Amino acid sequence: MNNLSLLVIIAVLPIIFICLYIYNKDKEKEPLKFLIKLFLLGILSCFLVMLISWKIQTVFPIFAKEVDEMSFFEVFLYSFVGVALIEEICKWIMVYFGGYKSKYFDQVYDSVVYAVFVSLGFAFFENLLYVIPKGSFQIGLFRGLLAIPGHACDAIFMGYYLSLAKIAGSKGQKKLELKYQCLSILMPTILHGFYDFCLFANFSILIFIFFIFIICLYKVSFSKLKELSVNNVAVKDIKKECDNCHIYFEGSYCPKCGKRID
C-alpha cells in the first residue's frame, strides 16, 4: 500500500464509521440513495463556502490574512464569522432544502441523520484538501480523532433543533418553528467557532480548555443523539411538550425527566 492510499484511508475511514453509526441508530432507515444525495450536497456545500469566503475576503481584508498575523480580536472574528458561521450556514442550507423539506422527514431522529450526512460530506471533501496535499499522517490522525467527530457533533446539534422546529411546524407554531430553526444555525456556529478559536488563538490555556470542551461536546452530543434515537417517533404523533425539558413526546410521561403531562 502506497502513502497516498494510506492517506485516503485515514481521511475517509472515520467518516464511514460515523455515518454507519448514525445510520444504524435510526429505527426506520432512510433510503440509501437519499442519504448519498445528502452526502453529495455536503460536498457541494464546500464549494459554496469557498465562493462566499472569497467574496467576504474581498470586502473584509482581515479575513484574507494568515491566522498568525491576526490580532486576538481578529482571530475571534475569523473563527466565529469567517469560518464557523459561513460553514454552518452553507451546511444548513443543504440540510434544510435537501432534508428538512423532504417527504422522507417524518421521524424526529431523521433530521440528525440528514445533518450528519451533509456535514460529513463536507468533512470528507475538506479532509481530502487538508490531508492529501500536505501528505501528513499526523494531520490525518488529528482530523480523524477531533475535526471529523467535531463536525458530526455540530451536526447533531443542528439536527436536534431542526427536529424541534419540524414538530413545532407540524403543530402550526410558526414562531416557535422559526426560533428552533435559528437555534439550529446558532448552536453549531458557537460550538464550531469556539473549537476553531481555541486552536487558532495559540494560547496554552486555550489548548487546555479545548480538550475539556471536546470531552463535554462529545458527551452532550451523544446524550442528545441517544435521546432522539430512543424516543424516535413519528412527528405527527407527538402531542405533548414537557415544560421542564422543552421536548415533545407522545404518552403521559416525559421520556427525559419523567414528569407526568396530562
Condensed to tens digits (0 to 9), the pLDDT of residues 204-259 reads: 899 999 999 999 999 999 988 988 888 777 777 666 666 666 565 555 556 666 66
Nearest to 101 by CA among 177, 15, 45: 177
Are 86 and 120 part of one and the same domain? yes
Is the pTM here over 0.85, yes or no?
A: yes
Torsion of CA 212, 217, 218, 220, to 10 degrees: 120
Is 225 in the same domain as 238? no
Contacts of 213 (CB under 8 A, 6+ apart): 194, 195, 198
Identify whether residues 128 and 152 lie together within a single domain. yes
Same-domain status, 226 and 242: no
For residue 238, count other CB atoms closer than 10 A to its CB.
20
Q: Tell whether 216 and 257 lie within a shared domain.
A: no
Distance CA 237, CA 250 (A): 7
Residues 170 and 249 in one domain: no
For residue 182, give its domain range: 3-230
Residue whose grid cell is 481521511: 11
- Counted domains in the chain: 2
Give every CB contact of residue 85 below 8 A, 6+ residues apart in sequence: 189, 193
Same domain, 197 and 72: yes
Looking at the structure, tell me whether residues 156 and 251 fall in a common domain. no
Same domain, 37 and 66: yes
142 and 252 co-located in one domain: no
Q: Are residues 222 and 241 in the same domain?
A: no
Same domain, 143 and 255: no
**Helices then strands (H, E): number in the chain?**
9, 2
| Sequential DSSP letters for 208-231 | HHHHHHHHHHHHHHHHHHHHHHHT
pLDDT digits 0-9 by tens, 106-149: 898 999 999 999 999 999 998 888 777 666 677 777 888 888 99
pLDDT in tens, 19-71: 999 999 988 899 999 999 999 999 999 999 999 999 999 988 888 888 888 98
Instruction: Render pLDDT for 152-192 as a digit per residue (tens, 0 to 9).
Output: 999 999 999 999 999 888 888 899 999 999 999 999 999 99
